[in-house]
Amino acid sequence: MAGAGVAALAAAGVTLQNANASEPAKPAVQARPLSAPAAATLASDLTAHLGSSAAGSYYDAKARSLVVNVLDKTAAKAVEAKGAKARIVTHTLAQLDGARTTLKKDATIPGTSWSIDPVSNKVVVTADKSVTGARWDKLSKVVDGLGGTAELKRFQGEYKPFIAGGDAINGSGGRCSLGFNVVKDGQPYFLTAGHCTADISSWSDADGQEIGQNAESHFPGTDFGLVKYTSDAAHPSEVDLYDGSTQKITGAAEATVGMKVTRSGSTTHVHDGTVTGLNATVNYQEGSVSGLIQTDVCAEPGDSGGSLFSGDKAIGLTSGGSGDCTSGGETFFQPVTAALSATGTTIG
């Protein structure tokens, strides 16, 4: 892969009516059409404004609107006043975060993942095919103990980091994909997956020419690595679309559940999908990684580190998952915004 998260005002007219006339019904509040990046920004603003009254949000791509979960009618009115749809739900974010804390403490089992699903207002726990016997029984018991705040699902694939080595970057013992070109102190770098840089320190292009060496590596816990360019190779802020064209990347954005996204990688090239969860935890055999973006986009070994984007905005770096691009799968991504902040870099 080459360079591969509002106010609506209703005006009411005044009419003279006789004593027997009924009051006209107030028009329904209409949500304002939003792009996915704009919805992510609005979601962040509303969450900060509502505090504990907010309980998650997601993007309705078909309606092009932001849906915000709230706990009462007062919060719902505040959401609607900003041009989003409000939905009153049962579980608070504190309750859902509490369920995640319990899972981390009592059920950190390789082959499992969990994330808050704002659509169901629950923590969705998934186990891959490697979780059997006593481990499955333990996981089931923990989830059952969480009551209605969590649900358990089975996935027939197997969670693993997608290293095999997206434009491809090669190192001794493996191949990964370049995520996004970035700049630090005026110098060119690129981001890729941390589980790639954990094992490989020097990177070459398809012709075997060295292009960079590791500057930082973070895995497990998080999953990103920073590589400093050591050659004069061109490093435009673009993503390879593998059809002779590229997508220009102008900045980074936060993901939103429901956001339509595209992934580029050197093994399976370009595939589209939807963000299905945020702040997900995946328990790989190599260790646990948290704070990930969960999607229904497929990926395969060698796509690791590759770019996830929406339009001209960088969203994530391919971490791992299960399945493949023949039968479909589930893939997790390291948020780019977190990687940029941690490394002191900017898209460029």
The catalytic residue positions are 195, 223, 304
Q: What whole-number distance in Å separates Cα of residue 303 and Cα of residue 161?
A: 10
For residue 335, cis peptide bond before it (omega within 30 degrees of 0):
no
DSSP tag of 278? E
Q: In whole angstroms, give the CA distance from residue 242 to residue 167.
A: 9
Integer CA distances (angstroms), 178 to 172, 224, 232, 261, 273, in order: 16, 11, 16, 17, 20
> Which ranges constitute the DSSP H helices of 107-173?
133-145
Angle between helices 93-106 and 133-145 (to 10 degrees): 150
Please choose, from the candidates 87, 109, 112, 114, the residue with its C-alpha nearest in 3D space to the C-alpha of residue 98.
Answer: 114
CA distances to 16, 92, 151, 156 from 21, in Å: 10, 43, 51, 63
Per the listing, tokens 């493949």 go with: 324
**Termini Cα distance of the chain:** 16
Q: Is 38 helix (H, G, I), strand (E, B) or coil?
A: helix
- Report the alpha-carbon distance of residue 342 to residue 149 in Å, rounded: 32
